[in-house]
Chains A and B, each alone.
Chain A
Amino acid sequence: MRKLLGTAFVFAVIFSSASMALCAQAIMFQPVVSIYTDGDGNGLLSPEDVACTATSVVVADTGNDRLVRYSLAGNEVKYVSQSKVSQLPSPIRVQIDSKGEILALSGKNRRIVRLGADGQFLANFEMKNVPQGDTVVPRSFKLDKKDNVYVLDIYGGRMVVLGPQGEFLRQVAFPKEFGSFADLAVDSGGTIFLVDSANSQIFSAGKDAKSFSPLTQSMKEQMGFPTYITMDNTGLLYVTDQNGGKIILLGQDGSFKGQKAGRGWVEGLLNYPVGICLNGSGYAFVADRNNNRVQIYR
């Protein structure tokens, strides 16, 4: 019995390390399936972002002023429900926190709202004790593993970091020279990355940094108009080149690692993509805005 248990343990260890290695691999960007509609067959319209976990997907269906929830099992995607709430017109960013609750940013009223895991509206996300808090204009936001909220405040020229309940933690000033920041990513060590659309440049700030500094030079040759950035669990940065219809891969040091997809209409290709989400189980979800769909890649 002991021998049997020992063998089973060894197999389990080998299997789990193999599956972890598989998850840690970069996405190959092989198209798996695309999401076109809700459960009633109503098409997505200009979706700008997508949030994901191992088992669920939430699409910011921007043109339809709603969030659409799906469940995920392997390659199979099933419609769950939609959330169309008056507090969230034109959603442009969506995130799922560790409790499964949904936070989303409205492009129209520029407020972040919190919805339950079931998609019901809970509350506006209030920012507390933020210096000049009444002037914050959130262009984008992201969550870290502790559910802290990182808000890209373009009016204040800063990144504001807030606790899960909106309490002010710190702020990091934008660099002196930049073009137009569109999005951010946060790694597990607390380093923040900013993407500058106008200059096609990435900036970063370490956990305790007071301001951002360039991670890359201008990368106009590689990406025309980057608008979104995220990171996988190996530290590889994924940047969406909206005008080029591409996903650009960068190392943590900013080195160019390659590009995926390309401009087009058929599945696999992208047309003005915006948001990208990696679910840690080997899948990437891309909000393929001008193709009115979310594409899933492996």
Chain B
Amino acid sequence: MRLRSDFILPPLALLLCLMMLSVAHAADNKFNLKDGAKGKNCLSCHDSFAGVMKKPFIHTPLKNWDCTGCHNPHAASHAKLLAAEVKDLCERCHAKIIPEKPASIHKPVAEGTCVKCHDPHAAANKFNLYKGGNALCFDCHKEMGSRIAAVKVKHSPVEKGCVSCHSPHASASGKTLLKENVPGLCLKCHDSSKMTFVKMHGGYQVATARCTSCHDPHGSNQKGLFYDKVHVPFGKGNCKQCHEEPTAGAPFKVKTDGYKLCVGCHNNMVNEALLKGRLHWPLLDRAGCLNCHTPHASNQKGLLKKPMVEVCGQCHADTVNWLKNVEHKHSPVKDGDCTACHSPHAADQVLLMNKPTSIEVCGSCHDWEHHSTHPIGPKYKDPRNKNLTVNCLSCHRSHGTPYDKMLHAPSQTEMCTNCHSKIGR
């Protein structure tokens, strides 16, 4: 019996191995291709790939001549005979690129357009990237690229590459693809316990503060990488002008809340606003000036926290969002320049218009009313409402509308017959 098993088992094991090999081969060779009919065979038609194969970084399936790793040689429901959607196809091998609960995802990754950055076949750059270094990032992030190139004071990690701080695909914990949130990320290089660090921050313990509320991590024209526009007391290191002493129990606490803190220096501006008939109410709430302005440094004019349209859009999201889908926009709206027409602190006019009448507001850029226009002004009653006179806004909506010339109505005829109803059909 022992003899018999010695005799039977080895061939059985051999047979099993052969079977497994053949199954594995069948799995590899899902299209049952003849020997030599793999990738090299594809090149007989796709001869341009001879050049591609000479590039230094070749995608692994292609390196293995496995074109069918991604393409279906016969027919497919996807462009370029791909066996699946690009995202799904890439995920088959690169599933771990996105963490399980990401805090942020790069837009092309979320959209599944991996090929916006990576050449799926071969490239001159590592990871099959189309361009090396920051150049690839600046293809989309153009403004950032221009700014980084122009600033006087460079942040060395930026010069080494955006990926010094950002994860290119997704981040498990950081916003805006940061590898880690601020200040943790900054403190990896900047030791907050050093005396020079403490001294530079006026003795305040800033290790838990948000570094990017004052410093521009991408570079700046100011020493200390401050944002370009610096609040004067901050620039002079007079932190105590607004904050408690650095040795106080709550050193960052401001001496008083809201506009009352700012009025000490900006008394003319505040008093002027408080004497107007209509106030922008956020000015007088607990946050006061800080609803719109940052107290330390900013890249925006007037120390605004963000670009103007984003600041205004914090509360006036309905207006900003509506305008996103409107075809005919007023040019200051396109430029995000809300203060071209509105006074941001206070005014005597409704909607905080910066001039007494809408005709005067419009007249600060347009001069139609001086040469050729429909009768407008206090002499001309609006036929739709006896308490209104005809002005620019009788026909045009100041931010924009879906209609030509920012008219309220879809056509000029409809707009005119709004008032001239007798001639309407």
B315 proximal to A (CB < 8 A):
yes
Known contacts A154-B286, A290-B350; is-contact A108 B275 (Cβ 8 Å): yes
A87 to B385, CA, bound (A): 31
A65 to B348, CA, bound (A): 11
Chain B residues within 8 Å of A264, by CB: 384
A57 to B372, CA, bound (A): 44
A289 to B387, CA, bound (A): 11
Known contacts A108-B276, A179-B315, A225-B316; is-contact A265 B281 (Cβ 8 Å): no
A107 proximal to B (CB < 8 A):
yes
Classify chain A: how many residues form its interface, as a range. Answer: 35 or more
- Chain A's nearest CB lies how many Å from the CB of B48? 52
- Chain B's nearest CB lies how many Å from the CB of A79? 15
Contact of B278 among A43, A90, A154, A200 (CB under 8 A): A90
Closest B residue, CB atoms, query A274: B350
A62 to B281, CA, bound (A): 16
A197 proximal to B (CB < 8 A):
yes
Chain A residues within 8 Å of B278, by CB: 90, 107
B382 touches A272 (CB 8 A): no
A198 proximal to B (CB < 8 A):
yes
A156 proximal to B (CB < 8 A):
yes
Question: Which A residues between 224 and 264 are near B, CB-CB below 8 angstroms?
Answer: 224-225, 243-244, 264
A180 touches B282 (CB 8 A): yes
B387 touches A108 (CB 8 A): no
Contact of A224 among B258, B318, B382, B387 (CB under 8 A): B318
Chain B residues within 8 Å of A291, by CB: 385, 387-388
B277 touches A90 (CB 8 A): yes
Closest A residue, CB atoms, query B397: A263
Question: Which A residues between 279 and 298 are near B, CB-CB below 8 angstroms?
Answer: 289-293
B384 touches A44 (CB 8 A): no
A278 to B296, CA, bound (A): 48
Contact of B350 among A36, A157, A272 (CB under 8 A): A272
State the interface size on chain B (CB cutoff 8 A): 28
A52 to B189, CA, bound (A): 66
Chain B residues within 8 Å of A292, by CB: 385, 387-388
A139 proximal to B (CB < 8 A):
yes
A24 to B258, CA, bound (A): 44
CB 8 Å contact bits of A44-70 with B (1 = contact, 0 = none): 101000000000000000110100000
A106 to B243, CA, bound (A): 33
A155 to B333, CA, bound (A): 31
A90 to B275, CA, bound (A): 11
> How would you classify the secondary structure of chain A's contact residues: helix, strand, loop or mixed?
loop
A43 to B381, CA, bound (A): 12
> How would you classify the secondary structure of chain B's contact residues: helix, strand, loop or mixed?
mixed
Chain A residues within 8 Å of B41, by CB: none
Chain B residues within 8 Å of A225, by CB: 316, 318-319
A108 to B347, CA, bound (A): 10
Known contacts A107-B278, A155-B258; is-contact A198 B286 (Cβ 8 Å): no
Contact of B277 among A37, A107, A156, A243 (CB under 8 A): A107
B319 touches A180 (CB 8 A): no
B279 proximal to A (CB < 8 A):
yes
A272 touches B282 (CB 8 A): no
Chain A residues within 8 Å of B277, by CB: 62, 65, 89-90, 107-108
B81 proximal to A (CB < 8 A):
no
B185 proximal to A (CB < 8 A):
no
Known contacts A290-B350, A292-B387; is-contact A180 B318 (Cβ 8 Å): no
B386 touches A36 (CB 8 A): yes
Chain B residues within 8 Å of A266, by CB: 384-385
Chain B residues within 8 Å of A289, by CB: 350
- Chain A's nearest CB lies how many Å from the CB of B313? 10
CB 8 Å contact bits of B301-331 with A (1 = contact, 0 = none): 0000000000000111111011000000000
A155 touches B281 (CB 8 A): no
A198 touches B314 (CB 8 A): yes
Contact of A200 among B276, B318, B386 (CB under 8 A): B318
A225 to B316, CA, bound (A): 7
B350 touches A46 (CB 8 A): yes
Contact of B286 among A36, A90, A156, A200 (CB under 8 A): A156
B284 proximal to A (CB < 8 A):
yes
Contact of A265 among B282, B314, B350, B384 (CB under 8 A): B384
A119 to B196, CA, bound (A): 68
B351 proximal to A (CB < 8 A):
yes
Chain B residues within 8 Å of A290, by CB: 350
25 A-B residue pairs with CB within 8 Å: A36-B387, A43-B387, A44-B387, A107-B279, A108-B279, A137-B284, A154-B284, A154-B286, A156-B286, A180-B281, A182-B281, A198-B314, A198-B317, A220-B318, A224-B319, A243-B319, A265-B384, A265-B385, A272-B351, A290-B350, A291-B387, A292-B385, A292-B387, A292-B388, A293-B385
Residues of B within 8 A of A (CB): 257-258, 275-279, 281-282, 284-286, 314-319, 321-322, 350-351, 382, 384-388
Residues of A within 8 A of B (CB): 36-37, 43-44, 46, 62-63, 65, 89-90, 107-108, 110, 137, 139, 154-157, 179-180, 182, 197-198, 200, 220, 224-225, 243-244, 264-266, 272, 289-293
- Across chains A and B, which 5 residue pairs bring their CB atoms closest together, nearest first? A224-B318, A198-B315, A292-B387, A265-B384, A90-B277
